[in-house]
Amino acid sequence: RERNGHEPEFLQAVQEVAETVIPYIAQHDIYNGKNILLRMVEPERLISFRVSWVDDSGEIQVNRGYRVQMNSAIGPYKGGLRFHPTVNASILKFLAFEQVFKNSLTTLPMGGGKGGSDFDPKGKSDNEIMRFCHAFMTELYRHIGHNTDVPAGDIGVGAREIGFMFGMYKKLNNTFTGVLTGKGQSWGGSLIRPEATGYGNVYFAENMLKTRNESFEAKKVVISGSGNVAQYAAEKAIELGATVLTLSDSGGYILDEDGIDSEKLKFVMDLKNNKRGRISEYLDKYPNAKYFSGERPWSVKCDIALPCATQNELNGEEAKTLVENGCICVSEGANMPSTPEAIHEFHKANILFAPGKASNAGGVATSGLEMSQNSLRLSWTREEVDERLKEIMKNIHNSCVEYGKNDDGSVDYVRGANIAGFVKVADAMLAQGVI
Ligand code: NDP
């Protein structure tokens, strides 16, 4: 706390893990007296660098780039790159710390990392995005590699940005390796990777619902965000027979009482991914829907809530409203979208609640599958990758149940995910000595 007092998001993420893991350490002699958690909260390396690039008017712009290499005990660092004006060391350290546990939960050999820049992609031309991504990679390339650190996308970094960064990495290294995941189909990408985080979140929620003899069929679902994770969570929920009522962006949310069906979702995907428009423009095409400027969707009555936008987007009061409105399941697509007060409300009401490090692990798991395919120089079919993703989400669910079962038979998925993730990394660190 003394060392990281100025980093509130990082402290929040560590506190949540510490509350469940410290009692576990106290009960297990092998972890006692080894300062294992103290070692885990200190990044192995934190790189910060200047990114200078030229905008369309010829002016030189300067941004700050980062890569946090948090923990490599069980494999090369792995985790996304975020381009958003709010990016700073605290946010990236919280994300990298979460990533260590998440990657461990997938059972694939991946350490944890995260990176990005305070660059704001909104309103930039394709050429500006390209120049920024190229400039960013001219420094990052010396710190990464397919056996060292394999970044992927996150907020503000999708297929377009991964393409530009991959191109520059390849040029600088003169090698074609799987150094980034989320690549395009024709140059090393995996089928299902774009869908994986959103689909995986719904698969995880399905597993939770099963424990209470419930499913997505005929359920009302509220989703926040309208980016990569939100879009595919919506697609899978619709496919499973649910009615998706909302989507949002940083401007506000849309509510479509008739349900956002597959056709309407296609419109949103085109609006967001190709036209780079705002969610409020949904009303131009579907005027029966409503738009709530500057608001979040948690007051809409629903059975299932899937927060898929950003950290701390669902607070204690909003959690109370969800519970009072009859919500039975909250499954996090984003990283740390629920505040500690919100999680407390969900636990108090004994509704199903999945923390992102378990429920959104499908994205990085499929990135791990992309790395395997790159190493094998093979491409698995859509069905094969989807089957593996389903299996991985089921296994993560089972691990959470194993470590998170309460005396009354209910499951604390937060405790379960934290301990299951911790054990594998801690065992590897102990085996490797004090390094
Ligand atoms: P995108 O950039 O594709 O979409 C982000 C969405 O969230 C947009 O709708 C965006 O709105 C909204 N958003 C971003 N910041 C804010 C904010 N401060 N307030 C309100 N809305 C906001 O990102 P992803 O879908 O990839 O990521 C969403 C979340 O999922 C993040 O927490 C990310 O870390 C997490 N995640 C992503 C994975 C992946 O595979 N992509 C894997 C695991 C987790 P706007 O357009 O207005 O900015």
pLDDT tens for each residue of 315-345: 999 999 999 999 999 999 999 999 999 999 9
Q: What is the mean pLDDT of residues 402-427?
A: 97
Q: What is the mean pLDDT of residues 397-425?
A: 97
Q: What is the mean pLDDT of residues 127-133?
A: 98
Residue-level pLDDT at 395 = 98
% of the chain residues with pLDDT over 70 = 100
Pocket of ligand 1, candidates 86, 203, 310: which has the most ligand atoms within 8 Å of its Cβ, to mutate?
A: 310
pLDDT at 222 over 80: yes
Q: What is the pLDDT of residues 277-288, one digit of tens each?
A: 999 999 999 999
pLDDT at 1 over 90: no
Averaged pLDDT score across all residues of the chain: 97
Beta carbon of 156 within 6 Å of any ligand 1 atom: yes
Beta carbon of 112 within 6 Å of any ligand 1 atom: no
Q: How far apart are CA 415 and CA 24, in angstroms?
A: 10
Q: What is the mean pLDDT of residues 42-47?
A: 98
For the entire predicted model, the pTM comes to 0.97
Q: What is the pLDDT of residues 148-164, one digit of tens each?
A: 999 999 999 999 999 99
Concerning whether 210 is annotated as a catalytic residue, the answer is no
CA of 36 to the centre of ligand 1 (A): 32
List Cβ neighbours of 36 (8 Å cut-off, separation of 6 or more): 25, 426, 429, 430
pLDDT at 5 over 90: no
Residue-level pLDDT at 186 = 95
Residue 3: band (very low, low, confident or very high) from pLDDT cuts 50, 70, 90: confident
Q: What is the pLDDT of residues 112-121, one digit of tens each?
A: 999 999 999 9
Which one of 114, 124, 183, 272 is the catalytic residue? 114
Residue-level pLDDT at 56 = 98
Beta carbon of 339 within 6 Å of any ligand 1 atom: no
346: its two tokens: 């969900």
Domains in the chain, ordered, with CATH? 8-176 (3.40.50.10860), 195-359 (3.40.50.720)
Q: What is the pLDDT of residues 267-280, one digit of tens each?
A: 999 999 999 999 99
CA of 403 to the centre of ligand 1 (A): 29
Beta carbon of 225 within 6 Å of any ligand 1 atom: yes
